[in-house]
Amino acid sequence: MISNPFLSINPNVTLIFKLVVGGKSGIVVFTDGTVGICERLIRNDLKVGNIYKSSLFDIWDSINLKNIIEPNRELFKNTECYSCEKFKECVYGKGICYVRAKVIYGNYYSIDPFCPKSNSNQRMS
């Protein structure tokens, strides 16, 4: 059993985030059975289910997961993403990092600071 919801990352490896795969090619199971899209979302934000209540297959195939990896455009109202002509290509295709958006802008449904259209000078690694 996993005792810690964090992944071990080699500090000598540089990570380049060109594609966010959370919920698209994998999901994370935390020690309490909660299932999420990213190991960085440890407070059960954007959770998609719980393995003690549903099977992993049902969670993977759920509307909860679909709503997170293909969020409604209205959730991005008053952000650069809302009116962007590349919304579907970017948000549904490449994916946005909800963690970076939350840390920099205080809102999960905001522009990813790594987006070229972001006016943020802050970067997180």
- Structure confidence by residue, pLDDT tens digits, 46-92: 899 999 999 999 999 999 999 998 999 999 999 999 999 999 988 88
pLDDT for position 12? 46
Backbone torsions φ then ψ of 94, nearest 5 degrees = -70, -35
- For residues 37-44, average pLDDT: 77
Q: Strand, coil or helix: what is 29?
A: strand
Query: Which is it for the CA torsion 47, 49, 50, 51, positive or negative?
Result: negative
Structure tokens at 123: 């970067």
pLDDT for position 67? 92
pLDDT for position 20? 65
pLDDT tens profile 110-119: 998 888 888 7
pLDDT for position 91? 86
First-residue to last-residue Cα distance in the chain: 28
pLDDT for position 71? 93
Nearest Cα neighbor of 20 from 53, 68, 86, 52 is: 68
Identify which has the larger pLDDT, 37 or 14.
37
pLDDT for position 123? 54
Quick check: 11 pLDDT over 60?
A: no
3-class SS string, 32-86 = CCEEECCCCCCCCCCCCEECCCCCHHHHHCCHHHHHHHCCCHHHHCCCCCCCCCC
Question: What's the mean pLDDT when you consider all of the chain?
Answer: 79
Identify which has the larger pLDDT, 122 or 64.
64
Structure tokens at 38: 């990213």
Identify which has the larger pLDDT, 55 or 44.
55
Report d(CA 88, CA 97) in Å as an integer.
Answer: 15
